């Protein structure tokens, strides 16, 4: 009698979810909300009250403030279907099945990362004149180098401070999602400067996801060409439909094909707070050559 190795579907789901839930830059930089609704209503204070000078015995005047509604709609879908032939189900090992699960989870996470980093049109521009503090919201490209990468970090922080982002940056922290070539320059700068930090960096290199100069630095291969995402963490919202995220459907013989169909999907939406110019100053589109 021939033995057949069957995949444990419960373990498959567990393995895939564990891969999806590994730390990535989008989990750290975005305000991620898992909901089972289509729309998430948020608001932003767009007109603030002024502080008045009072005179004893004189009436004060009430002032209006304005809160504008932002609506995040979870209406975007990405599907990752995998088909395994019936013969391969029997001939491949259990370990290979778990590797397929990890692959699906990895693809989901990578897709979210690329979607976030492709949204640069919703960010505030930062270019050559921003770096030199001679202009603002510039689209001219900066050539990142070993001699200016620290200047870029400081200048981004200064731009956010100038737009009253001090409290948000203290509460949430700064971040940069660098390209590989930029991360190499950052590593060289860390190794060449300081004392204990430089010694550690020379010995071990720098980790992907490190804190330096008051900011968290991440590495991604999914940055859109000539754009680097940086700013204050958790200021923009990513909505994910929790009922489908990390869920797997197993379909026997899909489309009259002998085998097993394994399908998972991602339903999502973004809120970059387009009604609030104030919030927009806290996610930066670093224009780079």
Q: What is the pLDDT of residue 206?
A: 56
Question: What is the predicted pLDDT for the residue at 4?
Answer: 42
Looking at residue 138, its pLDDT comes to 94
Question: In sequence order, what DSSP letters do the residues of the chain get, joined into one string?
Answer: ----PPP-HHHHHHHHHHHHTS--HHHHHSEEEEESSSEEEEEEEEEPPPPPPP-TTS-------EEEEEEEE--EEEEEEEEEEHHHHHHS-HHHHHHHHHHHHHHHHHHHHHHHHT-GGGSEEE-HHHHHTS-SS--SPB---TTTHHHHHHHHHHHHHHTT-HHHHHHH-EEEEE-HHHHHHHHHHHHHSSSHHHHHHHHH---SSEEETTEEEEE-S-PPTTEEEEEETT-SEEEEETTTTT--EEEESGGG-SEEEEEEEEEEEEE--TT-HHHHTTEEEEEB-
pTM of the predicted model as reported, rounded to 2 decimal places: 0.83
- For CATH 3.30.2320, list the domain ranges present in the chain: 120-236+275-287
**pLDDT value, residue 176:** 97
Write the class of the CATH domain 120-236+275-287: alpha beta
Q: What is the pLDDT along the chain (289 residues), one digit of tens a residue?
A: 343 445 567 777 777 777 666 657 899 999 999 999 999 987 766 677 778 888 898 888 888 777 777 889 999 999 988 888 888 877 776 556 777 888 888 888 889 999 999 999 999 999 999 999 999 999 999 999 999 999 999 999 999 999 999 999 999 999 999 999 999 999 889 888 865 665 665 556 556 678 899 999 999 999 999 999 999 999 999 999 999 988 888 888 988 889 888 888 999 999 998 766 678 899 999 999 9
User: In DSSP terms, which residues pair with 285 in a beta bridge?
Assistant: 125, 229
Q: What is the pLDDT of residue 65?
A: 78
């Amino acid at each position: 009698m021939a033995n057949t190795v069957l995949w444990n579907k419960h373990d498959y789901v567990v393995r895939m979810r564990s891969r999806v839930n590994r730390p990535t830059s989008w989990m750290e930089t975005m305000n991620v909300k898992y909901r089972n609704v289509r729309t998430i209503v948020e608001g932003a204070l767009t007109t603030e009250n002024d502080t008045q000078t009072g005179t004893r015995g004189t009436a004060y005047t009430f002032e209006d403030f304005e809160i504008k509604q932002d609506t995040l709609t979870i209406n975007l879908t990405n599907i990752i279907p995998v088909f395994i032939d019936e013969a391969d189900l029997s001939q491949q090992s259990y370990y290979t099945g778990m590797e397929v699960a990890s692959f699906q989870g990895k693809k989901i996470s990578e897709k979210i990362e690329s979607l976030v980093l492709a949204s640069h049109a919703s960010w505030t521009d930062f270019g050559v004149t921003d770096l030199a503090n001679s202009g603002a919201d510039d689209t001219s490209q900066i050539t990142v180098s070993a001699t200016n990468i620290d200047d870029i970090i400081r200048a981004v922080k200064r731009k956010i401070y100038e737009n009253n982002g001090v409290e948000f940056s203290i509460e949430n922290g700064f971040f940069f999602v660098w390209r590989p070539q930029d991360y190499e320059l950052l590593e060289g700068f860390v190794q060449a400067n300081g004392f204990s930090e430089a010694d550690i960096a020379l010995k071990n290199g720098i980790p992907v996801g490190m804190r330096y100069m008051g900011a968290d630095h991440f590495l991604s291969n999914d940055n859109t060409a000539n754009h680097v995402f940086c700013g204050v963490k958790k200021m923009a919202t990513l909505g994910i439909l929790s009922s489908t995220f990390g869920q797997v459907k197993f379909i026997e013989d899909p489309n009259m094909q002998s085998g097993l169909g394994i399908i998972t999907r991602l339903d999502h939406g973004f809120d970059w707070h387009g009604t609030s110019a104030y919030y927009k100053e806290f996610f930066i589109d670093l224009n780079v050559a």
